[in-house]
Structure 1
């Protein structure tokens, strides 16, 4: 790590082994300038709590990470292996369990954890907030809304949903407590950052009114079963072979877009077809909202990633820093061998890049409302210069016992 050029150390293991991860953590954490650790791991590694918990719980530095379908370093996408990032800026972490629990009041939990709205907690001073969460949890939006209500504007939020292409919930969040399921991790970073968000998906049908939904499951559009409306549109577009057993093979090319007044549509990725014709998405689709069916092509998606980079560079204010890239795994599946073009649009050979191909993305730009996106590119540049959060502000916040939900 060079004090003048980058605030991070980035070390990569391509084997996906637990012992190799331990070696990376040892090497990175031994540098006295490192103040926090990030871990990006691939689902193909097959990590389990039994294997990882002793290793994670033994770390003295604050730690945040997740397991993803693929991870990114520089211009390279890995489907097996692990990246450890040593941060040269302050990091404080908070674990929020129960991300599908209908009884959890996330506002109450966060207020207790951070000490209330008038608390001098470092979370309220952090200019950058990293959010890593289980991408298949059923109450992501209520958590994200509670976080934004409490912390508000004037800071950059970025992050993504952990998970694998099996699309089954399992322990995916890495922290000092261990490897956790159905949880979110909030990392308060003591560094300024800039951000760009874009997706490149365009409407081909709609709008349709969401007349019935349950959380992440879309039941009816315009009072008809959601799949009936969806199938009819795709058949008019020439897509006739929709295999219910492999619905995601088609749906990843035709997501939904939720209308937002004065803002770009928020994409929702339908990945599971139910026998009753309802569709489960990554993220909630609220009853009463309006959605379009979207489509894109190689040019529109690659151009959108380039636009996200330009947005971040326009607002950064100073060159340099480390680039973080959260890019939806559905974009990889859609672009296939052309995905390298998208990554090349974001990667600069003179700037470190690290990130993940995620299941949903979390972002705002310091002013607009915080959102949980799907099928979107999120580019953030973390500044070199550290900002003190608060004297002694390091490590995980400990107001509740591990796994306790108020």
Structure 2
């Protein structure tokens, strides 16, 4: 049985109507094929329960996972205040799981995921969406057994209030993780990259506690940025600078790699609220992004995903993009999708959204938690041996 995919999107005043219209459009595009699995990307401005009610009124008890985002992404580009529904149909199976304890313990959540996966012998891929404001994604990734393929992202929304949500076919909430286990005749190729480069400015992390980066070079983090960019330190605690700080992440040396770690926002005391811990005493380098570098990164990520598919033809692409890209590409919304389509082809359905972090597995190693990246997850139908 061939693998088919379709995407529907809608904008409406309330979440139920937008979810209903998007699901209806996706079903129409799928034609006579019966959906096996659904993914939903919904505006954080909607009530999660309303979106779920609208989608499930048409899809019923279909295995489904979803997350909130400031904007949805499709082949047509970038849409705020919208719901995007992607459907997959084919000879594969999907289980959806709601894990409400993620914010309390990423390690325990990883153990539950691993236990669920171990109950089945066949090879499976795991797709996850988790709360971007609460919970420790690095801890979750570190506790996943190596060799287990985990892909996904952290949901985003209102940075000021921390409003974000996750959903399955029966439940919605904050502080949780949703997971889908995919097994059978489906092949997945993943690629990822980012468009931020080191510019030479170096800091020493002198005080960090949990997710809060307190001081750089012995002074509040906002003062360090104020001296660099020329805006008063007090202004960094208020919009728009409190959010735009994500455009200027820090590159942290982890082994031989320089890993991007980006603030979610700047707090009133001048500290940076991160969603990954940074230890004291290490060097951090300022990173700056550009439109050209991001478009190049999007094409590279799509090319990687295609290569990982091997002989399988891409049928659908899930594109998970850091929220910093939305800020950087504000004058050219949807530019990253155009770049992805340049590689995958105009006829491959695309769905995605903006996230507060990305999770990828590569080369049978422990999953990695990323900031600032675009992740392209291409779904294809395995080539049948004759």
Smaller-chain TM-score bracket: 0.7 to 0.9
Q: Deviations for 1:100-143, whole angstroms, at most 9, x for unmatched residues?
A: 32xx3x444543565388x4336x731x2211011111422212
Match of 1:363 in 2: 360
Paired residues of 2:36 and 2:88 also in contact (CA < 8 A): yes
Matched, 1:324 2:318: yes
Alignment: residue pair count: 369
Question: What's the secondary structure of 1:345's corresponding residue?
Answer: helix
Question: What's the secondary structure of 1:336's corresponding residue?
Answer: coil
Alpha-carbon distance change, 20 to 276 in structure 1, aligned in 2, over 3 angstroms: closer
Matched, 1:199 2:194: yes
Deviation at 1:198, TM superposition (A): 0.8
Please point out which of 300, 305, 317 is paired with 1:307: 300
Deviation at 1:273, TM superposition (A): 2.3
Question: What's the secondary structure of 2:263's corresponding residue?
Answer: strand
Match of 1:403 in 2: none
Distance in 1 between residues matched to 2:127 and 2:370, nearest whole Å: 15
Match of 2:377 in 1: 380
Moved more, 366-375 or 185-194: 366-375
Q: Which runs of 5+ in 1 are unaligned?
A: 388-406
Deviation at 1:358, TM superposition (A): 1.7
Paired residues of 2:74 and 2:337 also in contact (CA < 8 A): no
Distance in 2 between residues matched to 1:116 and 1:320, nearest whole Å: 28
Question: What's the secondary structure of 1:270's corresponding residue?
Answer: coil
Q: Which runs of 5+ in 2 are unaligned?
A: none
Alpha-carbon distance change, 20 to 300 in structure 1, aligned in 2, over 3 angstroms: closer
Distance in 2 between residues matched to 1:240 and 1:110, nearest whole Å: 42
Distance in 2 between residues matched to 1:137 and 1:339, nearest whole Å: 28
Q: Deviations for 1:156-201, whole angstroms, at most 9, x for unmatched residues?
A: x322221214442335101133211111112112232111111121
Match of 2:346 in 1: 349
Q: Deviations for 1:61-100, whole angstroms, at most 9, x for unmatched residues?
A: 2110111111111142111221222222321122222333
Matches within 5 A, 1:4-403: 4=2, 6-15=3-12, 17-22=15-20, 24-25=22-23, 28=27, 33-44=34-45, 46-49=46-49, 52=52, 59-88=60-89, 89-101=92-104, 104=105, 106-112=106-112, 114-115=114-115, 119-121=118-120, 125-126=123-124, 128-146=125-143, 148=144, 150=145, 152-153=146-147, 155=149, 157-170=150-163, 172-190=165-183, 191-235=186-230, 242-246=235-239, 247-248=241-242, 250-263=244-257, 265-318=258-311, 319-347=313-341, 348-385=345-382
Alpha-carbon distance change, 91 to 379 in structure 1, aligned in 2, over 3 angstroms: same
Distance in 2 between residues matched to 1:161 and 1:11, nearest whole Å: 22
Question: What's the secondary structure of 1:248's corresponding residue?
Answer: helix
What's the TM-score once normalised by structure 1's chain length? 0.80
Distance in 2 between residues matched to 1:277 and 1:243, nearest whole Å: 7
Q: Deviations for 1:294-318, whole angstroms, at most 9, x for unmatched residues?
A: 1122212221111111222222202
What's the TM-score once normalised by structure 2's chain length? 0.84
Distance in 2 between residues matched to 1:376 and 1:136, nearest whole Å: 17
The structure with higher relative contact order (CA 8 Å, sep 6+) is: 1
Paired residues of 2:159 and 2:264 also in contact (CA < 8 A): no
Deviation at 1:321, TM superposition (A): 2.3
Question: What's the secondary structure of 2:346's corresponding residue?
Answer: coil
Paired residues of 2:358 and 2:373 also in contact (CA < 8 A): yes
Question: What's the secondary structure of 2:62's corresponding residue?
Answer: coil
Alpha-carbon distance change, 51 to 17 in structure 1, aligned in 2, over 3 angstroms: closer
RMSD: 3.1
Distance in 1 between residues matched to 2:243 and 2:162, nearest whole Å: 20
Paired residues of 2:52 and 2:169 also in contact (CA < 8 A): no
Alpha-carbon distance change, 24 to 340 in structure 1, aligned in 2, over 3 angstroms: closer
Distance in 2 between residues matched to 1:185 and 1:322, nearest whole Å: 20
Paired residues of 2:358 and 2:369 also in contact (CA < 8 A): yes
Alpha-carbon distance change, 107 to 154 in structure 1, aligned in 2, over 3 angstroms: closer
Paired residues of 2:323 and 2:356 also in contact (CA < 8 A): yes
